[in-house]
Amino acid sequence: MDRYRFRSPIGRAIGLGSAKAGFEHWWTERVTAVALVPLTVWFAASLIAHSGSGYEAFIGWLGSPVTAVLMILLLIALFWHTALGLQVVIEDYIHSGAKIWALLAARFGCFTLATVGIVATLRIAFGSWAGV
Amino acid sequence: MERISSKHTRPLSPNIQIYRPQLTSVLSIANRITGVFLSACAVVLVLWLAAAASGPDAFSRFQSVIGSWPGQILLLGATFAFFMHLCGGIRHLVWDTARGFELRQIYASGWIVVVASVVLTLISWLASMLIAGQS
């Protein structure tokens, strides 16, 4: 889908419209949402299917290549979607000087959490846990 | 130099106190509330992954916290919030294709979201208990 269809050519040439990202935010929120539908359903179904299984079996599944890839895709889509969603919530409710700090905290928090999750998944996939 | 306060003392039009809650407005704020709540749950998800990566001891400690009754209540709430946000989000995506804006359709899809969220939560918890009972 050509995202520039949402702006007129002359508007784009003169530089009218949102001074910030504008359409980008709305579109990326939808794209991550579409990705999250199958990814979260897969994750929830997998957790249910592994109810009551032991640690070894669970880690065996989590560390398998397909699962690790899907898990990392889920983390990326999830925290991108979360960052965008929290951004609009913060922008709607905080109008003082604290707004910019809240926005930074939310975005940095999402990046950090996604990184921690990805590193944890990779460590499980490549078979080394802490201290062993 | 004085900072200009962003809070004005002009009277605001009353909205929440006056406007009767409807399925439309309630589901809209519910999508936001579930979204924010799920953001907090995402933190727990990452902690869970980190515990799994840290070995069986850390993982079983984490599992016992989730297995406690406050943990289970949290998990039930997270499950319901997840399905409500998922179904509400799909409803939004359908609107983004410019479909479903007739008032009858809005109310029909709205009630489907509510019912589906409850049903999916129940099904997932029942399935989990059944499968856990078999192992």
Q: Who wins on pLDDT, B121 or A5?
A: B121
HSE of B9, CA atoms in CB hemisphere, 13 A:
1
**Is the pTM for the entire model greater than 0.90?**
no
Shortest alpha-carbon distance between residue B100 and chain A (Å): 17
pLDDT of the residue at A18: 64
Residues of A in contact with B36 (CB under 8 A): 85-86, 89
Predicted pLDDT at A1:
46
Residue B90 has pLDDT above 80, yes or no: yes
Cα distance between residue B85 and residue B82, in whole Å: 5
Are B129 and A51 inside 8 Å of each other by CB?
A: yes
Structure confidence by residue, pLDDT tens digits, A39-93: 999 999 999 999 988 899 999 999 999 999 999 999 999 999 999 999 999 999 9
Residues B98, B102, B107, B109, CA torsion sign: negative
Distance CA A45, CA B42 (A): 17
Question: pLDDT per residue over A12-50, tens digit each?
Answer: 777 766 666 678 899 999 999 999 999 999 999 999 999
Nearest-angstrom CA–CA distance, B43 and A110: 9
Which of 99-118 (B) contact A at CB < 8 A?
none
- Interface check for A53 against chain B (CB to CB < 8 A): the answer is yes
CA distance A53 to chain B (A): 7
Query: What pLDDT is attached to residue A19?
Result: 60
Residue in A50, A89, A132 closest to B32 by CB:
A89
Question: Measuring CA to CA, which residue among A27, A121, A11 is closest to residue A73?
Answer: A121
pLDDT at position A5 over 80: no
pLDDT at B7 over 80: no
Average model confidence (pLDDT) across chain B: 92
Q: At residue A130, does pLDDT exceed 70?
A: no
CB within 8 Å: B46 and A82: no
Tokens of B82: 């997840």
**Rounded to an integer, what is the distance from CA A22 to the centroid of its chain?**
19
Taking residues B57-66, report their average pLDDT.
94
- B41 to B37, B58, B82: CA distances (angstroms): 6, 19, 10
**Closest residue, chain A, to B97 (C-alpha):** A30
**A116/B contact by beta carbon, under 8 A:** yes
User: Which residue among A33, A52, A89 places its CB closest to the CB of B89?
Assistant: A33
pLDDT at B3: 45
pLDDT at site A95 = 93
